[in-house]
Structure 1
Amino acid sequence: MDKNAFFDSIRGQMIISCQAVKGEPLYEEERSVMYLMARAAKMAGTSAIRTSSIRDVEAIKAETGLPVIGLVKIQYPGYEGYITPTMKEVDDLLAAGSDVVALDCTLRKRGDGKTVNQFIQEIRDRHGDILLMADISNYEEGVNAWKCGVDIVGTTMSGYTDYTPRLDEPDYELMRRLAADVDIPVIGEGKIHTPEQAVKALETGVWSIVVGGAITRPLEIATRFMSAIEAARGGRA
């Protein structure tokens, strides 16, 4: 799709992530049901959907007609990252109709022995000027991905690598630094659990935000409520 049109459509907006992987309540082996979550997201006014797996990309595109940021979560031996780690996943996502391909752009070990810089260049050589979103975990990785020629940097992996702090809230400082220092859209993502946090994330200067688990993962939502209640009970004891 047209890059500038996509950027304009998501600026200042909330992208909703609709994902379910094996082991989660909304994952069905024989069929995709995430298009129903995407239907709700569209009705709420989201400008784009982020989703994982080929079948969910296809189902959500057919249901909503919205731009889709697609990724594939798969763990290969020797790879520390699991978001769209090889060219096969990139090829499959594009064939399924992904408007943007999201991939792990952390500086962790890759099983093929390549650097993420080399992988990005191979994607460009093969697929030209497709829209690429770099999922990174810290400032250095975000700057590196930008210099490698990705179109979007997302703070998706902050707190999910062993060298970044596990925060109980969004990594506002990472969002703020990247938004100030790179000249491509930065998407704030990760641990945005409340509307107030969503507003605060946008106030860091990021182009847009992604919210997922707080909206589309019922087990995660229910568990947060249950944990808060249990903690309160313990405090009264």
Structure 2
Amino acid sequence: MTLTVHSLPTSQGLAEAQRKRGGRLRMLMVLAACAAPVLASYFTFYVVQPSGRAYADLIVPTVDIPSTLHLQDLQGKPVTADSLKGQWLLTLVQEGSCDEACERRFFLQRQLREMLGKERDKVDKLWLLPEDSPLPRPELLKALNQGVGVTILRAPRAELQAWLKPAEGQTLLDHVFLVDPMGRWMLRAPPQPDPSKLKADLSRLLKANAGWDKEGR
């Protein structure tokens, strides 16, 4: 019969293990502290809803912008989905031909941002243009770029349809979608919305996130 002798851990080894455990614990505490304001603001808006029921459709759970979304600018340069994070995005999906109804939606998009007053610098305007759609007219581009311009990005139609969803009986063209600074689609406005009621939803969201959300990417 043989006996196996296992060496006991040294005091140095025990100290090293304790340091590693302590480091991991501190890292988890820092992550929890960073996430707490975000989680609290979402809980307040989605669950508590201090100002009553939301006018627009809240998307629960929120839907992350796909990291594989193939975005390009109008010159064909690839744009990463992560580059859109850091700002609230008032988002429209519209055809390049852009009829009268489409132009009204862009006016609404601009109006909503301006109605936010001093909070408007936390919000960007985004036009997602289906890849198989014609390019916008030069005069439309000129009008949209007056003041704070609209960011225009092209993407495959199927990929947009897989991410953003219209209400029953509607199309993607009918809605204003709101994407939060973490890249999550979280609100869908009804077709032909009441600007003042939709602005109230946006103001509540910005107020709920005031502790961590700052203007500018």
Per the TM superposition, whether the score is higher than 0.5 is no
Q: Larger radius of gyration, structure 1 or 2?
A: 2
Structure with the bigger percentage of strand: 2
TM-score normalized by the length of structure 2:
0.30
TM-score normalized by the length of structure 1:
0.28
